[in-house]
Structure 1
Amino acid sequence: MEKLIAAEHLSFHYTDEEGKPASPEILKDLTLTLEAGSFVAVLGHNGCGKSTLAKHMNAILLPTGGKMWIAGIDTCDEEKLYEIRQHVGMVFQNPDNQIVATIVEEDVAFGPENLGLPPETIRERVDDALKAVGMYEYRMHAPNQLSGGQKQRIAIAGIIAMRPSCIVLDEPTAMLDPKGRMEVMKTIRMLNRSYGITIVLITHYMEEAAQADRVIVMDDGNILLDDRPEEVFSHVEQMKAIGLDVPQVTELVYELRQQGIPLDSHIISEDAGVEAILQNMA
């Protein structure tokens, strides 16, 4: 598969006005490759470096050591910053911080207008983006009249309208209720599967991470685990040791295995858990 994002011995610390270190190292000699079209979840407790890594993917932050490459472009190349941000769009935790207009369709048009696209292209992209996130019927609404989940989908539509190769979402469901979280996750899965957009999802919700193709667990600026979700979440004790949970069904399977019941430790979905327990009882 095509390599879209690559970090090579990436390190980062904040610096003062003189360029001297003003914080401990937040990322430590981190090497990572993300393929085009993949759906990757990034987990870790607060302060582990996951949001800092996300900001390197969009060149909001630049390495203090090593390199970050986006579609083969060195993020430290200032002349290519515009091109990098066309490849990678960012969606943050609070949709209110990303909504800039008083009408939904005007907000979604903001990015394409800044790209200097012709009006007919902007119109087409806005309509396509709103349909993609299931918000076309709300195009003439005021964003402040929408629910949190709807606002976040509008923020995602604004990124989609710029046609990026990759969308990095930094805890996009953290401020939403369960219905809003479900809406946004459905949209994210659809963008990956139907449109082939690379997804990097930073989340605290293990059930969300379980929907990804790959899970990266960070701890203290390093990558601790990096594998399929079934494999990552089978390391229950290691996850708990760094203050992280696993999906509830995985936790149940772990507890049953501790009681001597022979269940597969790689179960991460409720359906698979129910099936395995019923088979064991038969």
Structure 2
Amino acid sequence: MNIEAKDLQTALIKASKQFECSVIDLEYDVIQHSKTGFFGLFRKNAIIYVKGHKKNHNEKFKKNHNEKSTKHTSKSYEKNEQKKEYKEKNQRPLEIQSKEYYKVKNDVIFDSFHKESEEEKDIDFYIDEIKISLEKLLATFDFDIKVIQVSIWDKNCVLIKLDGKDAALLIGREAHRYKAFSYLLYNWLNAKYKIQPRLEIAQFLENQTQAIDNYLKILIEKIETNGKVQTKPLDGIWLKLALEKLRERFPNKYVAIKQNDEQRYIVVNDFLKKNE
């Protein structure tokens, strides 16, 4: 019998009521694990296939008891063997022990050197790995979205281009899904590879960049006239794009993010100098 519920625990409780037995007596296979979804999407219920329930508790007890006895005997044997090996090792000539010590020490140093070298690999080394991981992630979505491109943007950033029939759904209203997905990618790539993503879904990032450019033209005129300016409240990709462009345009001015309650905006002025 297949039982479906919002999570595995609820499914097991439901099955135990139908079979009139304890949850621990159920014999079942998990067909599908539950998923909480992504902003209300992709949610999946847990599904289990219940074969029946165990009838003889004594057989289970005897089996567990025999397994524990076997494990205890095995552990005792291993412990005695370890003592014997330790005794034989310490009875060997000091010269042999010394050579083995330095051999182990040198092996550890050699391994550490290669681990450090692996950590210093360029982004290019990870491009294919990132693309494959992204394709596996998108395959779990119900959206028709494909990985179009994964390439190096700069030494600390990788460009990720996605597109498909459901691109607009992944962007979401007021770009709330785009921001959430960007944050998810940032946490993954920064933690694993020490790099950050530049996410392009369809032409969303390109369009937003153009919109920011048009807005910044007005701000730049004010800065050149008055020497200072404060932007309207910005967040997410808009805040990042505006900050990058203003710092590039005015390298000798103070350009920083300020926060007032829950709103963030950018200030540019001559009174404070940007820390290099």
- TM-score category (smaller protein): under 0.3
Bigger Cα Rg: 2
TM-score normalised by length of structure 1: 0.26
TM-score normalised by length of structure 2: 0.27
**Per chain length, whose mean CA-contact separation is higher, i.e. which structure has more relative contact order (CA < 8 Å, sep 6+)?**
1
Answer 1 or 2: which has greater helix percent.
2
